[in-house]
Amino acid sequence: MQGFGKFLETFFNAEVAARYLPDILSGMAVTIGVGLAVTVTGLAAGLALAILRAMGRGWMRLPIVAFVDILRALPPLVLIIIFFFAFPMIGVEMSAFTATWLALSLVLAAYAEESVWGGILSLPRGQTEAARSTGLTWWQTMHAVILPQAIRIAIPPLTNRVIAVAKNVALGSVVALSEVLNLAQSATSAAGNPTPLTMAAAAYLVIFIPAMLGARRLESRFQWRT
Amino acid sequence: MDALLTNFFNVGVFKQVLPFLLEGLLTTLGLSVLVIPLGLAGGLAVALLATQGNRLARILVAVYVDLFRALPPLVLLIFIYFGFPFLGIDLPKLLAVALGFLLNNAAYYGEIFRAGLASVPAGQMEAARSTGLTRGQALIHVVIPQAVRNVLPDLLGNSIEVIKLTTIASVVALPELLRIARDAQSLVYNPSPVVLAALIYLALLWPLVRWLSRLEHKNLVAE
Amino acid sequence: MTPLLELAGLRKSYGALEVLRGVDLRVFPGELVCIVGPSGSGKSSLLRCCNRLEESTGGHIIVDGEDITRAGVNINQVRTRIGMVFQQFNLYPHLTALDNVTLALRKVQGKSPAEADALGLAALERVGLADKANNHPAQLSGGQQQRVAIARAIVLQPKLMLFDEPTSALDPETVGEVLKVMRELREAGMTMLVVTHEMGFARAAADRVIFMDAGAIVEQGPPAEVFGAPKHDRTRAFLARYTAGH
């Protein structure tokens, strides 16, 4: 019983929790903000790359495939560290926000390109042919016939990926991005008590469990009978 | 251009730090060889509980999977490594990392195995039981092998993610590749070691990513 | 009378493989022409060259007096005047039957949604499927899907309709409803070029039957002639094999 009391006092210390709640909340705002920014830019860039690849100009295909491969192979933490610590040495200064946002956007763009491209590839050729036979241009066919279907196919793998990449905002703590984990670590050393770390874990759950449930709803909503 | 060469691709620095980075690579590989099988075993257990267990087990497993898929692994690792000492429990770095990875990976691999088990038609279990195999035997010899084969690309994909994830061990100063590279960077005042580490990660993981791409593509064509 | 479609010396090859070896063909307004022949004879390639889904490698394609192989031709506008129906229907699965039919009206012809819907419903009415306007393709039978595909083509009021084995992917019991719609189209004066394996339909409905083999037209004439008294050995062999095999 005494052991349990000590456990509670250590990880769920109400006094410490109350003192650092404002910090944690401001960290949550940063985490959510960076996560949303990464989602928007990453998905948009991934979609644009998939469309470029579908346009099928030979010289564009190789750099896109290389980009996707490299960003799927590189650990995101390595990217963040290179952007934040190495780029200033060649005169490109980046804030912790920019480094984290840029690195994670690039990573998400690579995965999104792969998913959307997979969706495009899985569609029968007849879809394009039917659309073109009624006089639609390449762009109109892409926009009205191919992408709506390809994106629906890409949504289940993409929702999981978006959440996985957005969770990596926590990696920003390594370059002192003032998201939840970073603030919680400072608070833990200041308070001499790990309750802020518990709060950080809880804060991430509060952000990402609804995100996961939302993703599941989105997946079922975007299914259409086949 | 010169600045780029001196700071990012400094051959002198490369030569100087390469032996240390290779040592770090060995640690990264060793860590991967430790945590991937642990995660696979944990994931299989999670999937079996989720599909074969009783109601209570299923609910607990579902909660566990959702919690640990929502929690960033770095948050988990920091919680374990910096939180536990406050209880007077001093976990060695490697143990803290292994524990964090096990908790995280079992949830991810568990979801993959669960999908795999669901992809095997119920008739397979029935056919095996009808020939006198026990439930356990039927699982081991008939159902699980098919389930694994059906999700091989996903297992490979997740294992690539796990290898990339070992970089977070650098945050608790475990001397894996990224940690060594960052230490070297501060020693030589030049970011080339981190760039070299990135190149090593690329050399290690690019072939796996290509292989994965092919597996995924093959599935696409086969369907 | 000037032909609506004229192929002059049409050639098509894939690398060294020559699938069309200089085909000459004229289709006149109101005519229903059926193309028959063994698989690999070039029938489908010929059809797909007519709206440039496949690019010919030689010769000319003249539609309604316009050479559509000429550089600078607006192929998308040409295609709204040439309807095409595919073996696999190729309906858009994410759109309702009505939206399938109206997409090109809205996007290519720039019609307002209300106007497009009215025209689309009328086209679905013509193929007997007005009541299915809000269904998705997956909720329709194969025969119904193919009728929607026909509506998608005729709604653009094409002058010429191309049919690429329109009944080959259908269950036997739904073939009849598609052929019936095609006969009605013909009676309404539509010019049609049909690649088919339905010899019964070709015999009963066609004005002219064309037998193709190895990338060339072997013989052509009224169905009674081609089916009843074929002039060439190859035609006889094909018809014998076909009637024996079915």
Which residues does chain A have within 8 Å of residue B204's beta carbon, measured at their own beta carbons?
73
Evaluate the CA torsion angle A59, A62, A67, A68 in order and state its sign.
positive
How many separate domains does chain B show?
1
A·C CB contacts under 8 A:
75
Name the residue among A132, A148, A225 with its Cβ closest to that of C136: A225
Higher pLDDT: C193 or A160? It is C193
Question: B194 vs A85: CB contact, 8 Å cut-off?
Answer: yes
Residues whose CB falls within 8 Å of the CB of residue C110, separated by 6 or more in sequence, listed in order: none
Tell me whether chains A and C touch (3+ CB pairs under 8 A): yes
Neighbours of A208 (CB within 10 A): 23
- Say which CATH number the domain at B154 has: 1.10.3720.10
Whether residue C107 lies within 8 A of chain A, CB to CB, comes out as yes
Which residues does chain A have within 8 Å of residue B188's beta carbon, measured at their own beta carbons?
none
* Banded model confidence at residue C244, pLDDT cuts 50, 70, 90: low
Judge whether A81 lies within some domain: yes
Judge whether A134 lies within some domain: yes
Question: C82 vs A133: CB contact, 8 Å cut-off?
Answer: yes
Tell me whether chains B and C touch (3+ CB pairs under 8 A): no
As beta bridge partners, residue C36 has C211
Number of helices (H) and strands (E) in chain B: give both, helices first: 11, 0
Considering chain A, what percentage of its residues have pLDDT values greater than 90?
A: 74
| pLDDT single digits (tens) A119-163 | 999 999 999 999 999 999 999 999 999 999 999 999 988 998 999
A·B CB contacts under 8 A:
141
pTM (predicted TM-score): 0.86
Q: What is the DSSP string of B145-180?
A: HHHHHHTHHHHHHHHHHHHHHGGGGGGGT--SHHHH
Distance to chain C for A141, nearest Cα, Å: 10
Best of A120, A133, A149 to mutate (most C CBs within 10 Å, chain C): A133
| Percent of chain B as helix, strand, coil, to the nearest 5 | 90, 0, 10
As beta bridge partners, residue C6 has C26, C62
Judge whether A145 lies within some domain: yes
Please give the residue of chain A at the shortest CA–CA distance from C152.
Answer: A134
Distance to chain B for A10, nearest Cα, Å: 7
The domain in which residue B170 lies consists of 2-222
DSSP H/E element including C78: helix C75-80
Best of C49, C80, C82, C90 to mutate (most A CBs within 10 Å, chain A): C90
Predicted confidence at residue B105, as pLDDT, reads 96
Which residues does chain B have within 8 Å of residue A200's beta carbon, measured at their own beta carbons?
75, 78-79
Question: A131 vs C149: CB contact, 8 Å cut-off?
Answer: no
Question: A130 vs C91: CB contact, 8 Å cut-off?
Answer: yes
The domain in which residue A197 lies consists of 21-225
As given in the structure block, the two tokens for residue C9 are 């010396």
**One-letter-per-residue 3-state SS of C203-221:** HHHCCEEEEEECCEEEEEE
How many separate domains does chain A show?
1
**Three-state DSSP class for residue B9:** coil
Mean pLDDT score across all residues of chain B: 90
Please give the residue of chain C at the shortest CA–CA distance from A130.
Answer: C90
Considering chain A, what percentage of its residues have pLDDT values greater than 70?
A: 97
**Residue closest to A143 by CA, chosen among A78, A222, A47:** A47
Judge whether A174 lies within some domain: yes
Question: A73 vs B195: CB contact, 8 Å cut-off?
Answer: no
**Three-state DSSP class for residue B89:** coil
Mean pLDDT score across all residues of chain A: 91
Interface confidence (ipTM) of the complex: 0.90
| pLDDT single digits (tens) C96-106 | 999 999 999 99
Judge whether A13 lies within some domain: no
Considering chain C, what percentage of its residues have pLDDT values greater than 90?
A: 79
- Across C77-83, average pLDDT: 90
Judge whether A210 lies within some domain: yes
Give the single-character DSSP code of A74. Answer: S
Predicted confidence at residue A226, as pLDDT, reads 43
| pLDDT single digits (tens) C211-231 | 999 999 999 999 999 998 999
Per-residue pLDDT of chain B (223 residues; tens, 9 = 90+): 677 888 888 888 889 999 999 999 999 999 999 999 999 999 999 999 998 888 999 999 999 999 999 999 999 999 999 988 888 888 899 999 999 999 999 999 999 999 999 999 988 888 888 877 888 888 998 899 999 999 999 999 999 999 999 999 999 989 999 999 999 998 988 899 999 999 999 999 999 999 998 887 766 544 3
Q: Edge-to-edge strands of the sheet including C160-164?
A: C82-85, C160-164, C191-195, C32-36, C208-213, C216-221
Instruction: Count CA atoms within 13 Å of residue B113 on its CB side.
Output: 25
What is the biggest distance separating any 2 CA atoms in chain A, rounded to whole angstroms?
78
Evaluate the CA torsion angle C74, C77, C82, C86 in order and state its sign.
positive
Q: Using an 8 Å Cβ cutoff, are C193 and C7 in contact?
A: no
- Say which CATH number the domain at A58 has: 1.10.3720.10
Whether residue C136 lies within 8 A of chain A, CB to CB, comes out as yes
